[in-house]
Amino acid sequence: MHTRALAKPQELSNTAWAYAQLSFLHLPLMDAIAAASIAKITQCLSQDHSNLAWAFATLHLPNAPLCDSIAAAALRTIRQFERQHLVNTAWSFATLRFEHPPLMKAISAAALPKLADIPPHGLASLAWALARLACADAPLLDAIAAQAMRLLDSRAPRLAGRNVGMLLWAFGRTGGLPHVWALLEASRTAGQHLDGLSLGGVVQACRELSLHHSEVRLMQQHLSRGAMGAVALDACALLLAEVGAAGEALELLRAGADAGLFGQVSSRVWAACDGGSLPVEPLEGLEVELGEPYSKELRLLAHVLRTAVPGDVDSVCAAVETFGEEKLPGTSHWLKIAGGTKAGLLVTCARRAPRDGFVLEVGTYCGYSAARLAAARASGRPPRGPLVVTLEVDAAHAIVARSLLAFAGLAHRVEVLTGHSEDVLPWLVRRMKDRVPPGAFVDMVFLDQRGSRYEADLAVLQQAGALSPGAVVVADNVLKPGAPLFLWRVTHGAGYATEVFSMTEFAMSGVEDWMTVSVYQPDSHQAAVRDPPIELRMLDWKAQQMRARTHRPDHGGSGVGFAEWAEFASEMRRGFAAAGFEAEPL
């Protein structure tokens, strides 16, 4: 690339910023801009540093030499940084996961006196960045919390729910639970209704610290609107029962019966707690209002409660599939489960995997796959500990899953954890190593979250020694939206024998998807993985762009129609074929 024409540092940073602003990735150009900027970094202004970092973070392009150069130059000129430059630089380094404690410490010190002038979204981004890079600055976080409270303490709150969620996660990860409770109360008083994504990190913090009653209060106060109230009631009772507080669980269910919330899952929890005669006749289903938050997931649960046989896993899973195949078509929604042919592959893998530990699922959604996996592992297995441990980032999805699994009779065989995988997995590894004898404990992994996380999450497990020899790793949605870098890792790196399978997406006729099945081989030669070719990096960018469109704030991912999914899958298949990848029809 002829970057010599861009003689001035500002021209380099502005060009990078413009391409990122347009979401247009041109890898050779960005590599050339990085190299040229490093050579001119001492001539850059603070805005140039900020723009360069922001552009590479926005385009998901980690570049360690560039980040090191920006950090070194910024440390010399940090007093010249305007408030937005400070925020953007911190956010960029955190997004790229590039740790540079001296820079973050300098940004914290420079931001503190300017905090009152930083806009609300900037406050949230700054706190999020500090927490993600584990560079918590107590005075700055205290000041951000105080400013957030002022922004919420008005008739017209000036702090959006999404920003409150970022702050809750940041305070929860940095030990600032007093700030969490204060912010939650201020948000509730201001009339905000936070979603499950905003609350997931708080639920995780409560679980890590065994703050079970705090978790119950959180669900009661913030996840009990509309039909979700009955589901949250059951989730709270289940949690209390799990930690040995059966009496409190029964008392909670009695109160729910008085409020008209006692349903079929309530009756199962009541029986498990030896409550005796039921306080009232259980409700048959849920009354879900059109358009209420999480209406798709609540309608799914209502359909299961109304049509499936309690305690019958096959009946429950069949009801879930029927809902996806018969109730949703004709709407703008799709039920993202690994049903149909995908479920058959999952069950086969679960039965052939080692049986010394448990199955780990990343991406619970409503509990369908967890139920399939638990049923496949239950045969001939004595009841000791969970068969499946499953992670879900959205706290609302997690409580729906708990209810569905309890109705299927699997509450004691599946453990549902809430939070981001990058936060939960390290904690889970530490917890398991404290509880079980030395050795591996994960026999199978089902990756069903964002494809961009597959490689990193699997690396956490492998590096911690958590994978059993012969462990089976199954990944969904490898074609659509796609997981190109993960596919490269498990096919070109040592340690895994991988097969790639093609099938029609569940309840999405004419749309192809791929799943990979990898068997872990720890004794194989651990050679370094070659960098993926530029074609795969471009496919990964396309996958991330499409994935972003499907995660609009409607909790249903309805931003892409079936025809467009089919076209996108075909485009990805052609791209994979050009890179030498093919899939075996299943």
Angle, alpha carbons 131-396-386 (nearest 5°) = 90
- Tell me the average pLDDT across 257-279: 97
CB 239 within 8 A of CB 215: yes
Q: What confidence score (pLDDT) does residue 555 get?
A: 40
- 431 close to 358: Cβ distance less than 8 angstroms: no
Q: Which among 35, 39, 34 is positioned nearest to 53, based on CA atoms?
A: 34
Rounded to an integer, what distance in angstroms lies between the CA atom of residue 386 and that of residue 111? 46
Band of residue 558 on the pLDDT scale cut at 50, 70, 90:
low
| CA–CA distance, 422 with 132 (Å, rounded to integer) | 10
- Catalogue the E-assigned strands of 310-396: 358-362, 388-392
Please list the residues that pair with 286 across neighbouring strands.
none
Answer whether 569's CB lies under 8 Å from 583's CB. Answer: no
Percent of the chain with pLDDT over 70: 94
Q: Which of 309, 341, 335, 332 is nearest to 322 (CA)?
A: 335
Pairing outcome for strands 512-520 and 467-475: antiparallel
Cα–Cα separations (whole angstroms), residue 8 to 5, 46, 56, 258: 9, 14, 19, 72
Q: What is the pLDDT of residue 523?
A: 77
Confidence of residue 525 (pLDDT cuts 50, 70, 90): low
Which pLDDT value is given to residue 329? Answer: 62
- Where are any strands of DSSP class E within 363-460? 388-392, 414-418, 442-447
Q: Considering the domain 9-14+42-151+161-204 in this protein, what is its CATH number? A: 1.25.40
Mean pLDDT of 375-389: 82
341-548+562-585: in CATH 3.20.20.70: no
pLDDT at 109 over 70: yes
Integer Cα distance of 387 and 376 in angstroms: 10
- Please report the pLDDT score of residue 436 as a whole number: 63
How far is Cα 476 from Cα 134, in angstroms, rounded to an integer? 31
Question: Could you tell me how many residues make up the chain?
Answer: 586
* CA max distance for the chain: 82
Query: Over the range 202-235, which residues count as b (16 or more CB within 10 Å of their CB) and which as e?
Result: bbbbbbbeebbebbbebbeebbbebbbbbbbbbb
DSSP states of 469-485 as a string? EEEEEEES-IIIII-HH
Residue 454's contacts (CB-CB under 8 Å, 6 or more residues apart) are: 447, 475, 483, 486
CA dihedral 183, 188, 191, 196 (to 10 degrees): 90
DSSP bridge pairs for 498: 518
Query: How buried is 20 (Cβ within 10 angstroms: 0-12 exposed, 13-18 middle, 19+ buried)?
Result: buried
Judge whether 369 and 361 are in contact, CB under 8 Å: yes
Tens of pLDDT, residues 213-245: 999 999 999 999 999 999 999 999 999 999 999
Q: Is pLDDT at 551 greater than 90 in this prediction?
A: no
Report how far residue 492's alpha carbon sits from residue 494's, in angstroms, rounded to the nearest whole number. Answer: 7
> What pTM was estimated for this model as a whole?
0.95
Q: What is the pLDDT of residues 38-81, one digit of tens each?
A: 999 999 999 999 999 999 999 999 999 999 999 999 999 999 99
Judged against a pLDDT cut of 90, whether residue 328 lies above it is answered with no
Consecutive H or E run containing 519: strand 512-520
* Residue 189 token pair: 């008083």
The Cα–Cα gap between 55 and 29 comes to 12
Domain ranges of the chain: 9-14+42-151+161-204, 212-307, 341-548+562-585
Cα Rg of the chain (Å, integer)? 25
Distance from C-alpha of 361 to C-alpha of 281, rounded to nearest angstrom = 35
Which has the minimum average pLDDT: 201-215, 427-441, 538-552?
A: 427-441
Q: Are 268 and 246 in contact (CB under 8 A)?
A: no
- pLDDT tens-digit series, residues 472-505: 999 999 999 999 999 999 999 889 999 999 999 9
Q: Give 534's contacts (C-beta < 8 A, 6+ positions apart).
A: 27, 28
